Chains A and B, each alone.
Chain A
Amino acid sequence: MLIGFLILLLFQFAGELIVIAVGMPVPGPVVGMVLLLIGLIIKGKVPESLRVPSEALLKHLALLFVPAGVGLMTHFGLLKQDWLAILLALIVSTALTIVVTALLLNPSAKKLRNINQENS
Chain B
Amino acid sequence: MEFWVFFTAKPLMWLIVTIATFIATSWLNRRVGGTPILHPVLVSLALIIVFLLLTGTSYETYFEGAQFIHFLLGPATVALAVPLFDHFERVKKMLLPLVLACMAGAVTAAVSALLVAQALDASMGTLLSIAPKSVTSPIAIGIAEKIGGYPSLASGLVLITGAIGCVLAPVIYRILNITDEAVKGFTLGVSAHGMGTAYAFEYGLMAGAFGGLAMGMTGAFTAFMLPLLIPLLGVG
Contacts and interface: CB of A to CB of B under 8 A. Distances in A.
Given A65-B155, A98-B168, A84 B176 contact: no
A53 B79 CA distance: 8
B160 interface: yes
Interface string B109-124: 1101110110011110
A74 to B, nearest CB: 5
Contact of A94 (B77, B153, B161, B182): B161
The size bracket of the interface on B is: 35 or more
Contact of A100 (B22, B75, B104, B224): B104
A66 B152 CA distance: 9
B130 interface: yes
A93 B151 contact: no
A68 B169 CA distance: 27
A2 interface: no
Given A91-B164, A120-B90, A109 B126 contact: no
Contact of A27 (B83, B142, B169, B192): B142
A50 B83 CA distance: 12
Contacts of B160: 90
Contacts of A98: 165, 168-169, 172, 187-188, 191
A73 B151 contact: no
A74 B53 CA distance: 11
Which one of A70, A81, A93, A107 has the greatest number of beta carbons of chain B within 10 Å?
A70
B76 A58 contact: yes
The secondary-structure label for the interface of chain B is: helix
A100 B82 contact: no
B80 A90 contact: no
Interface in A45-99: 46, 50-51, 53-55, 57-58, 61-75, 78-79, 81-82, 84-86, 88-99
Contacts of B142: 27-30
B200 interface: no
Contacts of A69: 41, 44-45, 152, 155-156, 159
A112 B183 contact: yes
Given A27-B223, A54-B82, A65-B41, A71 B150 contact: yes
Interface residues of A, number: 80
A11 B120 CA distance: 41
B69 interface: yes
A96 B70 contact: no
Contact of B120 (A46, A68, A88, A108): A88
Interface of A: 5, 8-9, 11-12, 15, 24-30, 32-34, 36-37, 40-41, 46, 50-51, 53-55, 57-58, 61-75, 78-79, 81-82, 84-86, 88-113, 115-116, 119-120
12 contacts: A37-B81, A54-B81, A69-B152, A70-B48, A70-B63, A88-B117, A88-B120, A89-B117, A98-B165, A101-B108, A111-B97, A116-B91
